[in-house]
Each structure stands twice: as C-alpha cells, then as structure tokens.
C-alpha cells in the first residue's frame, strides 16, 4: 500500500510540476483595465496576473535593474514556484518580461539571488560579455511529501543576453542538502578579501556561509544564529553586505538581514538584522538586542540588489509587501501581492548601538506630479488637506510645544463609508503606530485587523514622518528612517480624504509637503 501511495504521489506531483511548465511564459496582458482594478497598487510593483511573493535575484546590469520574484502564473494563491521577471531603468517604472525560470524534474524554483560574473569564474560567459548567474533553491515536492529532509538543494542558471533567456546548469544541483529540512534562499556575493563567492544560506534556525571559486563548487565556512536573535519561526531569505557607518567610508560594518516567519514584532513574518564583522569565513555579531528592519505588519523577504556600481554607492532593498498570516486570502482580483518601494539602506551609530535606516530611493521623485505646501501652525484637533491626491507622498515635520502638548497625533486616511486608517505617534506610550481596525475589509483573516506599533522614545520635541500612500498600502519612514512601518489595507471604497489630527493637546506643524504621484503603469493601462 505504501508503495502504491508513493507512486500516486509521484504521478500527482509530476503532473503539477510539468503542467505548470506549459504556461505561456509571458504574463497575461489581455485583461481589460489592467492595473486599474480595485486595490491595485499604482506606485508599487505588482504582477499583471497571478500570485507573487519573495523578491529574488535582484541585480543591476548594463543600465537595468532586474527584479525576479517568486511567481505562480496559473493562480492567485501559492503554487508551483517560478521566477517572474521585470526590469527597470529608474527603479520606479517596470517592464514585465517573460518568466525566467520554470520548475523542472529537480523541483520548484524557490528564492535565491543573481550576480554578474565579471571575471568569468564560472566559465559561462565570454570576454566582454559576462554571464548573469542565478543561484536558487530547488524544492522537490515528492521528497517533501515522502517525509525526507533533503528535498531542498541549490541550483544555478546563467544568461548571456542580459537576463532575457536562461540556461540551467547541466550538473545541478551544485549544493546538495546535508539533511536539513529547511535549506534555502541563497544570497551570493563576491568577497574581495578571500577572492571567493560567499553564499549566505538559511538553514532552519540559523544561517550557513559557504564559499566557492566558481559558483559551482561550494564548501561550508561557518554557521551563525543558533540561540541569537529572534527565533519565533524559521529563518529565511538572508542577506549579507557591508555599509559605511554614519557615511564614513573608512569605517564599515557588516549587516546580516534574516527574515523570519512567524515571530515578527507585530505577528507573522518580518525582517530582523544583525550588525558585526565578517572576515570572509565567519560572521561575528555585535548587536546587543533584537532589531527589525521594518516593524510594520507587511514587509517580508527583504533583500538587496547586487552589482550596483561603486559610482552609485547605494545599498538598495526591496521587500514583499504582505504577511504569511493572510497573504493567500487578501481580497485582490486577478493578482496577489506587491513589492515595497525600493529603499536606500544606511547604517548609523547612535547611543552605543548600530541602527539600519531606510528611506525611499531618490528616484521616487520622478513620480511627483504636483506639490502642495502646508501652512505651518498649531494643530489642536484636525487639519484637512484640501483636494488630497492619491497616490500621495507626504513629508511632515512636527514639534511638541512645551505646554499643552498632544499625547497622540498623526495622519488619518478616510472615505465616505466611515472607514479610516490612522498613522501616528503616541507620546504617552512612546511608540509609532498604524491603526487599521476600521480600515475596511478585514474579515478574511483574524490576524489582519489591529493596532501595530513600533516603540520609539523621543529624545527631544521634534517628530518627522515621511509617508508614501498607495491604493491599498502605506509606508511610514519616521525619524530619519530609524522607524519604518509598512502596512496594507483594503477599504471598501478608496480613501479619498487625508487629514492631520491631534488628541489631548496641541502639536506644531513646522513644515509639510504633499505630492501627487503619477502611476508607474500609465502606459500599461488599457
């Protein structure tokens, strides 16, 4: 009987695997009013149709930013994973390209990274035409369902035509599984000290560091994370990179991002980070507490671009704008999920600890259509923003007066249905918050509605808030990017009003700029 069941399992899994390979390869674009559906993001990347989760293989090459992503073209719920593909020249406007990687006999194509092999260490490229190499996890469903622990392995593929077509390495997998049930999400980078490729790989409750001279042959260097950091769930999608401290190029630290599911600060999935040293073999942690790259409910699988030119010098991240608690059931239409805005990451030293800050990349400014300046003054209850634009960007600077200071102030989005979303700072509790208890549809998940917080004690009277508001999301960057919160929402009618509010006292609006943002899909809409 066991043999019969196993045969049936293999047949079913194989059917699923190879039927998914029969997809057209090109995202469907024949739907009327594409990118104009209810809740459809207008300034964030989302797939034309189908399911999307983790960003993958983010790499810059010859003037193009490549965004690959976990993709299932045949449904709006998670299924056999492919690598979807889009490119951009400005990080804002994206062109959808055909699917890059399909499942095969070794498994689904899970998360990973991509690099430009400029020295042709792999032998896949030619002089003057380096190969782009993708490093990804194979997930074998037959092995998983059979109860094995080695069903995740690492494979590679290469492209010599700027990522338009891909060839999988004939000797895959390049890194077999040592018997670890969760063994995935390779992030690869070149280490200039050891002159080797370094792979940072999630392995259950910790990360493993592997090295390779050629992207094909890998050796274990060290492990990190057992008993360190947050461990409320499995570790996933790690990323290791170096950043200057306080902008000083002669003082650098290594940052290790590790995404975790569940176990986030407000429930479900989230991205934590560590700061320390990496000598090409071992990571030494210097963080003294658990730190989160984003304390909102909806930023996961945060990873950064490879191969951004030194002349640019930025470290740019993108995350998946959802949460595994409800990602499969959010009330969208022909598509599911979006990405966060690309963010520039910086590392500062403050109060004897290192803090990873985030702000939207400067390229966001290309979307600005118009600007409204708010008149400075005291807010003692509400201040309406006339003719509020949507989508919108708000840059607000507040200060608390010496007497009769507000205990709670912020920004309210609202509509004619009486639904609202509050983004603010609670002085009494010492925390920023997003309140989506009355923000519209939430009955699809018991974990969706709520007040989500990011603790932050003021050291003075000034509070700055930078917000990007889309059809169904808000990203808050406060206190110079030291506080970041990403939240999605689903009002039954789009939010049409914006007001500033103050409770139990006054708050001074020192300056305020409101920008109307153009859609990144203006040329795509039918």
Please list the residues that pair with 157 across neighbouring strands.
134, 168
Instruction: In whole angstroms, give the CA distance from residue 240 to residue 273.
Output: 10
H/E stretch holding 2 = helix 2-20
Q: Which helix (H) or strand (E) holds 12?
A: helix 2-20
- Centre a 10 Å sphere on the Cβ of residue 170 and count the other Cβ atoms it contains: 5
The 3-class secondary structure across 435-466, one letter per residue, is: ECCCCCCCCCCCCCCCEEEEECCCCCCEEEEE
Record the tokens describing residue 176, joined without a space: 């077999």
Give me the catalytic one of 30, 54, 470, 510. Answer: 54
Rounded to 10 degrees, the C-alpha dihedral 494/500/503/505 comes to -170
Specify the length of the chain in residues.
Answer: 526
Contacts for 73 with CB less than 8 Å, ≥ 6 apart: 20, 23, 24, 27, 28, 49, 50, 82, 84, 99
Ramachandran angles phi, psi of 241, nearest 5° = -155, 165
- Where b means 16+ CB within 10 Å and e means fewer, 357-390 reads bbbbbebbeebeeeebebeeeebeeebebeebbb
- Is 294 among the catalytic positions? no
| Sheet strand arrangement including 206-212 | 184-191, 196-203, 206-212, 219-224
Would you call 275 exposed, middle or buried from its count of C-beta atoms within 10 A (0-12, 13-18, 19+)?
buried
Cis peptide before 477 (omega within 30 of 0): no
> For residues 238 and 255, is the Cβ–Cβ distance under 8 A?
no
Cα distance between residue 44 and residue 39, in whole Å: 12
Pairing between strand 108-117 and 131-139?
A: antiparallel
What sign does the CA torsion over 360, 365, 367, 370 have?
A: positive
Which residues are known catalytic residues? 54
């Amino acid at each position: 009987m066991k043999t019969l069941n196993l045969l049936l399992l293999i047949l079913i899994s194989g059917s699923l695997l190879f039927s998914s390979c029969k997809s057209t390869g090109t995202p469907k674009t024949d739907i009327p009013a594409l990118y104009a559906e209810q809740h459809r993001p207008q300034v964030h990347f989302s797939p034309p149709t189908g399911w999307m989760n983790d960003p993958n293989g983010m790499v810059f090459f010859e003037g193009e930013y490549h965004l690959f992503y976990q993709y299932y073209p045949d449904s709006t719920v998670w299924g056999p994973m492919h690598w979807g593909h889009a490119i951009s020249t400005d990080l804002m406007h994206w062109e959808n390209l055909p699917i890059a990687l399909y499942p095969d006999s070794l498994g689904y194509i899970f998360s990973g990274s991509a690099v430009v092999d400029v020295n042709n260490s792999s032998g896949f490229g030619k002089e003057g035409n380096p190969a782009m190499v993708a490093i990804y996890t194979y997930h074998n469903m037959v092995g998983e369902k059979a109860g094995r622990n080695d069903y995740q392995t690492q494979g590679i593929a290469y492209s010599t035509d700027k990522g338009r077509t891909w060839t999988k390495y004939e000797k895959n997998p390049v890194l077999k599984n040592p018997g670890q049930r969760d063994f995935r999400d390779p992030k690869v980078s070149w280490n200039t000290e050891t002159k080797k490729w370094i792979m940072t790989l999630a392995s259950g409750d910790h990360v493993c560091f592997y090295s390779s001279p050629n992207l094909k042959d890998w050796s274990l260097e060290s492990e990190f994370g057992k008993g360190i950091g947050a461990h409320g769930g499995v570790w996933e999608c790690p990323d290791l990179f170096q950043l200057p401290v306080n902008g000083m190029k002669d003082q650098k630290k290594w940052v290790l991002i590790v995404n975790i599911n569940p176990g986030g600060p407000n429930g479900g999935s989230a991205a934590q980070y560590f700061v320390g040293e990496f000598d090409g073999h071992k990571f030494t942690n210097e963080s003294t507490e658990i730190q989160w790259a984003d304390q909102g409910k909806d930023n996961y699988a945060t990873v950064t671009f490879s191969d951004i030119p030194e002349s640019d010098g930025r470290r740019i991240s993108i995350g998946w704008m959802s949460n595994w608690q409800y990602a499969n059931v959010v009330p969208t239409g022909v598509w599911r999920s979006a990405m966060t805005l690309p963010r520039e990451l910086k590392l500062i030293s403050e109060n004897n600890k290192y803090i990873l800050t985030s702000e939207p990349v400067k390229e966001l400014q290309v979307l600005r259509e118009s600007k409204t300046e708010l008149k400075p003054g005291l807010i003692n209850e509400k201040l309406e923003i006339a003719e509020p634009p949507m989508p919108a960007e708000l840059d607000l600077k507040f200060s608390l007066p010496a007497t009769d200071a507000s205990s709670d102030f912020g920004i309210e989005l609202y509509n004619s249905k009486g639904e609202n979303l509050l983004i603010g700072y609670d002085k009494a509790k010492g925390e920023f918050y997003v309140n989506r208890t009355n923000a519209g549809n939430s009955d699809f998940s018991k974990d969706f509605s709520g007040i989500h917080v990011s603790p932050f004690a003021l050291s003075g009277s000034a509070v700055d808030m930078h917000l990007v508001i889309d059809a169904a999301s808000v990203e808050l960057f406060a206190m110079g990017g030291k506080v970041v919160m990403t939240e999605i929402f689903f009002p039954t009618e789009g939010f049409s009003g914006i007001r500033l509010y103050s409770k139990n006292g006054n708050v001074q609006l020192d300056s305020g700029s409101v920008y109307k943002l153009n859609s990144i899909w203006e040329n795509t809409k039918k």
